[in-house]
Amino acid sequence: GPGFTNIWSEPEPFTLVVSVRTGGCEGYPDEGSNESCLESFSQLVYQDDSSAYFVNKTEIEDYPRFQFRGLLLDTSRHYLPVNSILSTLDAMAYSKFNVFHWHIVDDPSFPYQSSTYPDLSNKGAFHPMTHIYTQSDVRRVIAHARLRGIRVLPEFDSPGHTLSWGKGQPDFLTPCYKGDVPSGSFGPLNPTLSSSYQFMSDLFKEVTSVFHDSHVHLGGDEVDFTCWKSNPKVQAFMAKMGFGSDYTKLESYYMENILNITAALNKISIVWQDVFDYHEHIPKDTVLEIWRGTPAEIRAELGRITLAGHRVLLSAPWYLNHISYGQDWRNAYTVQPQNFSGTEQQKELVIGGEVCMWGEYVDATNLVSRLWPRACAAAERLWSNEKKTSSVERAFPRLKDFRCTLLRRGIQAEPLFFGHCKHEYSGL
Amino acid sequence: MWLFSNNDAPIGSERYFKYIFSYVNEQGQPRSRVFDSELRELQVLITSTDPECDAYPSLKTDESYQLEVDQLKSVLKASNVWGALRGLETFSQLVYEDDYGVNNINKTSILDYPRFSHRGILLDTSRHYLPLKVILANLEVMAMNKFNVFHWHIVDDSSFPFLSRTFPNLSQQGAYHPYTHVYTPVDVKSVIEFARMRGIRVIAEFDTPGHTQSWGKGQTDLLTPCYSGSSPSGTFGPVNPILNSTYDFMTSFFKEISSVFADAYIHLGGDEVDFSCWKSNPDIQKFMEQQGFGQDYSKLESYYIQRLLDIVSSTKKGYMVWQEVFDNEVKLKGDTQIHVWKMNPQYQDEMARVTAAGFHTLLSSPWYLNRISYGQDWQDIYRVDPQSFNGTPEQKKLVIGGEACLWGEYVDATNLTPRLWPRASAVAERLWSDENVKDIGSAYSRLEKHRCHMVRRGIPAEPLFVGHCGHEYSGL
């Protein structure tokens, strides 16, 4: 907070003056907050061989290139204990990440304990008591994040990625058909029932009040149309609405409704790029997130989305769940988020990006070493001036040192290459 | 529930009691009987007159055991303590918790023994120093997976953490840090004893003549000075094979090694020798001429290896070498074990060649677990069969087993355990179980449960795929 902080008393008295420019300490971090000066200071302090602490005379004026520097965790493919999330927030703060994108539910499990619909987690979580996030857990995460200047962006992805929702909410998912009879399996959310929209409205009313962020992520990705196509009631609905056999129209119809729900709750929506790809007429303030494609396809998508006047986030090149042998941090580092054909105005619509740690192969046993220090490469790309930080060779020694700093702070960041830190990880 | 053994020495029964029952809620009151049959004791019987309690396990150790679990009598029989350890581990894995939190075990009759007698894990403590605790923790997981060899690739180019009594300068100058990043004689002793108590052999590898950059820091004139034209360039290459001082050093050094490490075998390395430095050095060129080696530097390599092997033989140890030593036609003793590690040429062909020449061989090529990739790569690991090459049954008998290798370029204490486990468990089953145990679907569901078992014991073995364990990892 604001005020004076005496750090050392010898050999010279040292005063660190921290003044807060906007909002003070009580508010919730908004997109414009600058909160990282204490973090920078802490990284300037170093130890010599006799373990005395030093800091060089320094003058820094610093601000981030992008205002949205996010990290996604997936707590549906594997449950992540609350402590895992809290320690991730700590490490995020060290790298000046400022948005925690909580992909909280998905097909495999529904760990979010809803006060409006408690059966969602009772029936949909991996275990109704040990593998859930209570309201208290959620509040704890939000508070921990806030104290580190990190926003918590919840994602309740629909209409696809919702299998676990159907366990606690009957008649919510579309029953798939084999010929004339239900096959027993289910597909995406049923967009033909008004009960679906009532449910989503109630759910988002709760979600937006629990998570105070100005934005909410609605998902909208990877909707498989086969189940919808097989269902006679859905076919009838398509006919009634005049959609023909174009199921992207059905998906658009659904998303439009949900976007209206969240707009009525005064929230700005973020959706995956699929929603734009299928439906170019979405509310102007909707933020799109690019998650797939070759580098050329990504550049093209950046161009298209910003040409349409939407703000865009980039996560496609930062899917850190995709591991490979060797120093792949370099790939994350050399991403150029504004390198696409477009006007200056278009480029300004790129508001940032996200590291994604999808959970198919990740849980508390390997989360930390898989995320860090690789995510730091993306962190620098999102904060720093691109021209000044384009050299991988010059970044390596700094990242190597920073990794040792993370270790000292108890973050189990894996090594970049062979070598050693003065203080090795010992948190067995 | 008591574990009785018929000799006085503890063979792990205390440890296994903890593994099985440490999660039981001790409420201090006797539980009222839920079922008719309550298993009250497991008798452990060592059948041979020498239980080998104070011995070290070896390649020839009999690890077989027989386990009978019945409501009237439960017995674990083995000829020695090593078999009993394997049986206790199996027994611990058969115990399961039901929905009431009661521990159960089904009526069981097992006769078990390993398919291969050398089932190893290689750790590299040169590219990254591994704190002692990490090595010991890994030995615990190895025992849980019935691995019985810890191949300690202790030094290499990057650093020399082994504190040698005879040549203390090696680690003084060659370790990443001479105090915090070394293995003292006490450290080494504790690794060996900790391993022994789990039926695990410790085979040290001191790889030469390549992979020795760190040796040169504390032992001047050991490495070959490279030349740029007619003057030394300042850099160094492999061990200098033409100096007598080299062989004097190796004699003293390996005398110490053979007394520090109790196993009957030492791994001498011998891989990836880069000839360019030797070629540049005029003294070596002269030596090549004198010896009549022409321009064939593999002959020089063989000359060095031959002398090294003679030195090591005089310590009465057997030796293991990487495949290059065999490929370069060095004269090897009959009981030499050839370690196949390359993918090209095809490792199956190499196995065929090595066994056709009458040598014992181990396989590591498809089991380089440091090579990570996205997805369920344990399946490829599982599908390997070390005996699937063209050869006679006699040749196939010469395959003594294999090793999963976790090279350390990108691995240290922060990520070792989840990177190694549970993928190494796939290797473990391949090396222990019958070759017909190979159905992937069945392996998946068993490995999923086994992984949750490891997590339950506090081991951060990473997930195979989407899902959950009853008790998640919480050792943050």
Q: How many CB pairs under 8 A join A and B?
A: 133
* Residue of chain B minimizing CA distance to A364: B473
Sign of the dihedral defined by the CA atoms of residues B235, B236, B242, B244, in that order: positive
pLDDT, tens only, A213-268: 999 999 999 999 999 999 999 999 999 999 999 999 999 999 999 999 999 999 99
Q: If you average pLDDT over residues B254-279, what whole number do you get?
A: 96
| Confidence band of A278 (pLDDT split at 50, 70, 90) | confident
* Residue of chain A minimizing CA distance to B177: A422
- Alpha helix locations (H) across A242-391? 247-264, 273-278, 295-307, 329-333, 344-348, 367-371, 374-383
Distance CA A314, CA A290 (A): 5
Inter-residue contact B429 to B378 (CB < 8 Å): no
Distance from CA of A73 to the nearest CA of B (A): 14
Q: Which residue, among B97, B153, B412, B465, would best test binding to A if mutated, counting the most A CBs under 10 Å from its CB?
A: B412
The ipTM value here is 0.91
- pLDDT score of A15: 53
- pLDDT score of A3: 29
Q: If you average pLDDT over residues A308-334, what whole number do you get?
A: 97
Residue type, A389: T
Could you tell me how many helices (H) and strands (E) chain A has, helices first?
16, 14
Distance CA B435, CA A65 (A): 58
Q: Is the pLDDT of residue B110 over 60?
A: yes
Q: Is the pLDDT of residue B230 over 50?
A: yes
Tokens at residue B369, please?
């677990």
Q: If you average pLDDT over residues A287-293, what whole number do you get?
A: 98
| CA R_g for chain A | 23
Q: Do B414 and A425 touch (CB under 8 A)?
A: yes
> What residues of B are labeled active site?
272
Average pLDDT taken over every residue of chain A? 90
Q: Which of A31, A61, A155, A222 is catalytic?
A: A222
- Chain A interface includes B413 (CB < 8 A): yes
- Chain A interface includes B461 (CB < 8 A): yes
Listed ranges A96-105, B36-45, B90-99; the one with the highest mean pLDDT: A96-105
Q: Is the pLDDT of residue B436 over 80?
A: yes
Stronger pLDDT, B20 or A150, i.e. the higher one: A150
Q: Is the pLDDT of residue A350 over 70?
A: yes
- pLDDT score of A16: 57
Q: Is the pLDDT of residue B435 over 70?
A: yes
Q: Is the pLDDT of residue B244 over 90?
A: yes
Q: Do B462 and A362 touch (CB under 8 A)?
A: yes
Which residues lie below 8 Å from residue A120, measured CB to CB, with a gap of 6+? A110, A112, A113, A114, A165, A167, A168, A169
| Confidence band of A43 (pLDDT split at 50, 70, 90) | confident
- Chain A interface includes B137 (CB < 8 A): yes
pLDDT, tens only, A107-149: 999 999 999 999 999 999 999 999 999 999 999 999 999 999 9
Greatest CA span in chain A, whole angstroms? 85
H/E stretch holding A217 reads: strand A215-219
State in Å, rounded, how far the first CA of chain B is from the last one.
Answer: 32
Distance CA A200, CA A208 (A): 12
Which residues lie below 8 Å from residue A255, measured CB to CB, with a gap of 6+? A159, A218, A220, A271, A275, A279, A282
pTM over 0.95: no
- Chain A interface includes B38 (CB < 8 A): no
Q: Do B466 and A419 touch (CB under 8 A)?
A: no
| Confidence band of A19 (pLDDT split at 50, 70, 90) | low
- pLDDT score of B22: 67
Please tell me which of the candidates A324, A366, A419 has its beta carbon nearest to residue B418: A366
With tokens 């992909």, the residue in question is A103
Kindly write down the DSSP assignment for every residue of B262-321, as one continuous string: -SSEEEEE------HHHHH-HHHHHHHHHHT-TT-HHHHHHHHHHHHHHHHHTTT-EEEE
Inter-residue contact B198 to B260 (CB < 8 Å): no
Please tell me which of the candidates B127, B370, B462 has its beta carbon nearest to residue A366: B462
- Alpha helix locations (H) across A242-319? 247-264, 273-278, 295-307
